[in-house]
Structure formats: structure tokens, C-alpha cells
Chain A
């Protein structure tokens, strides 16, 4: 079965500091991978998605970036965090052979920028 690992579970960072959130998946090959963010009291916002190694599509222009160095690894980064980057960050996957593209979500990382 598919498993998504995200770490850390919670993170408190000062404004202007760098960020690196990691997502790794198991039990699948060549998945589509996604980064979503949920700000407090708001809906889920798609940030990035990737259909393969080195392939990143950005949905929202901002100070965040994503990379996919390996098939089952997806990293979300920032050089300088803003207060508005606080939120619940979720990694999700969809199997490439899954006709219906059902998405599975990881446990999330709760980021607080102070």
C-alpha cells in the first residue's frame, strides 16, 4: 500500500529564515506528487505538482520553490520565510496508472513563522 512520509510534523521558524520540507513516498513508482498549503481558516491551495524527476509545475508565484531529485522524493523550500508562509503543508500523491487520479495525502507539516 502507498505511504507518504512528511517531516517535520511541526516547525517554528523566524521570518527571513530558510525552509526545507521533505516528502517521501513508498509503495508506488513514478507517482504524480503535489504540495498543498492550508492557511488558518482557509481552504487547500495547490502550490506545486510534479509528474516526474526534475519536472515541477508552479501554480502560485511566491517565495517558495520545489524540487524532485528522486522519483519518490519531493522537497519544498524557501530562501527567506514570510509571515504569510505560516500554514499546514500537505504532500499528496496520485498514481500515474490510476485512471481516476485519486489522491492520497500525507500527515502534513504545521509551519509557524514568527
Chain B
């Protein structure tokens, strides 16, 4: 799986958009970009994933650059409950049982 690079921490004011960047310059053609988050003392939670097109669901939007070397997770209206560590993961999809390779992620603090 390709390596990802994320900022260690970010702050965001409540109600504003949180834009979390991720660099994955060595991504290969069959690898997807996944985002998970982990709220303190809980298990990680799936947010969104994409291959090359931008994606949106009820939680967030994922913007992937045309060359696929970086992406941004957007939380459109951050709330205090969005304070968590956000993980960007790149991997190919298969049913071989391979697990997700979580890095250190970005610690997002949403402030009042």
C-alpha cells in the first residue's frame, strides 16, 4: 500500500469547514483513498473512500486531485463532536483479508 503523509494536528472553529489534507504521491492506479476517524477511547469509524472522482456522503466530501497524488477530506460544518484523529489510508481492494495500515493521522480539534 502507498504511504500517506498528513499534518500532525489542526484546529477548526465550530460551524466552519474543516479541510484535512493528505499526500499520497506514490499511489498506484488500483489503490483507493480511504478516510477513517477515531474519537477518543472508541474504535475507528469509516467516513468515506474514493478512487479518482470526488465523493460526498452524509458525513463528508472527498476531493482527489486529478493526478491522484493528494486528497482533501472536507467536513462542511464542523461540530465539537468531530474532534477526533483522522486517518488517510491508501490501499488496493481485495478479498484477501489484508488489513488497513493506519498511520499517525491528523488530530483535529474543533473549538467553540
Which residues of A come within 8 Å of B, CB atoms?
32, 34, 36, 43-44, 46, 49-51, 57, 59, 88, 90, 92, 96, 99-108, 110
Contacts and interface: CB of A to CB of B under 8 A. Distances in A.
B59 to A, nearest CB: 13
Interface string B22-51: 000000000010101000011111100100
Nearest to B85: A43
Given A43-B102, A43-B104, A44-B102, A51 B97 contact: yes
Contacts of B49: 100, 102
B32 A100 contact: yes
Majority secondary structure of chain B interface residues (helix, strand, loop or mixed): loop
A101 B102 contact: no
A71 B100 CA distance: 21
B46 A49 contact: no
A75 to B, nearest CB: 17
Q: Chain B, interface size: which category?
A: 20 to 34
A105 B38 CA distance: 10
A88 to B, nearest CB: 8
Nearest to A44: B102
B99 A108 contact: no
Nearest to B99: A46
Contacts, number: 58
B7 interface: no
Nearest to A88: B41
13 contacts: A32-B95, A36-B102, A46-B100, A49-B98, A51-B95, A51-B97, A92-B99, A96-B95, A99-B93, A103-B36, A103-B99, A103-B100, A110-B41
Given A49-B97, A57-B97, A100-B93, 4 more contacts: A101-B98, A103-B46, A103-B99, A105-B45
A101 B93 contact: yes
B42 A107 contact: yes
Nearest to A59: B99
By Cβ-Cβ distance, the 5 closest A-B pairs, closest first, are A105-B43, A44-B102, A51-B97, A46-B99, A90-B43
